[in-house]
């Protein structure tokens, strides 16, 4: 089964993608991982991608799709895969669809993890991180034993720039402009399934399992 994960930043789609991959025995594929692997291995596609990244430019959609197709053509993807973080835009989805069609393939399910913006802002702005050992907390859901101090190494916890309310709102604005139109794109192809992402992550996964079975 070929699955695309959809959802706003902070909705938990990466967590769900990992759980799907483990449960169904299929690879969890993110474009970031593909870029890093190809660059590290010095592949021709990796060299092309690195040339753009070194200039601070976005890797073009066509090259990203070529990297992705190269990855999903590998043996471990024969039974399917979960795409996380791609496609992000309608043009990317269209290129992916066109290229998959050439091999008689298609996306089977697009799973949208739906969480209202206000929940995401609360969820992300409550995160705290230890920059020394990498431990992460949440002031409501996973608080440290002592406020502002890491349980593991005793260092001070910080609110990362990425998790600041203003940054989260900006990321959500970009998501609504560029990525949320994919919900309609996959709905028109009758492959969209939406789950309530405000539930506990294990409950969300149970809902996803019912859809995929």
Of the residues 13, 71, 109, 128, only one is catalytic, namely: 13
| Residue 16 vs residues 127, 138, 209: alpha-carbon distances, Å | 19, 19, 10
Is-catalytic flag, 88? yes
Of the residues 160, 177, 189, 209, only one is catalytic, namely: 160
Is-catalytic flag, 171? yes
Is-catalytic flag, 127? yes
Region class of 42: left (phi > 0), else alpha (psi between -120 and 50), else beta: left
Of the residues 88, 122, 169, 199, only one is catalytic, namely: 88
Cβ-based neighbours of 183, under 8 Å, separated by 6 or more: 6, 110, 112, 192, 194
3-state secondary structure at position 109: strand
Beta bridge partners, 205, equal none
Is-catalytic flag, 145? no
| Contact of 81 with 212, CB cutoff 8 Å | no
Is-catalytic flag, 71? no
Residue 152 C-beta-side C-alpha neighbours within 13 Å: 10
Q: Which residues are catalytic?
A: 13, 88, 127, 160, 171
């Amino acid at each position: 089964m070929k699955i695309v994960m959809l959802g706003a930043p902070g909705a938990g789609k990466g967590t769900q993608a990992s759980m799907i991959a483990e449960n169904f025995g299929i690879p969890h594929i993110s474009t970031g991982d593909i870029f890093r692997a190809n660059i590290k291995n010095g592949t021709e596609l990796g060299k092309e991608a690195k040339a753009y990244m070194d200039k601070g430019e976005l890797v073009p959609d066509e090259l990203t799709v070529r990297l992705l197709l190269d990855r999903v053509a590998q043996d471990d993807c024969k039974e399917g895969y979960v795409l996380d973080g791609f496609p992000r835009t309608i043009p990317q989805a269209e290129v992916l669809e066109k290229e998959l069609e050439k091999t008689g393939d298609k996306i089977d399910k697009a799973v949208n993890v739906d969480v209202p913006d206000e929940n995401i802002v609360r969820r992300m702005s409550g995160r705290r991180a230890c920059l020394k050992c990498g431990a992460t907390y949440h002031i409501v859901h996973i608080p440290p034993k002592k406020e502002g101090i890491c349980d593991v190494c005793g260092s001070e916890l910080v609110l990362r720039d990425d998790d600041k309310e203003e940054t989260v709102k900006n990321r959500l604005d970009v998501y609504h402009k560029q990525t949320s139109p994919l919900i309609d794109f996959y709905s028109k192809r009758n492959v969209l399934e939406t789950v309530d992402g405000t539930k506990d992550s294990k409950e969300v996964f149970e809902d996803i399992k019912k859809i995929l079975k």
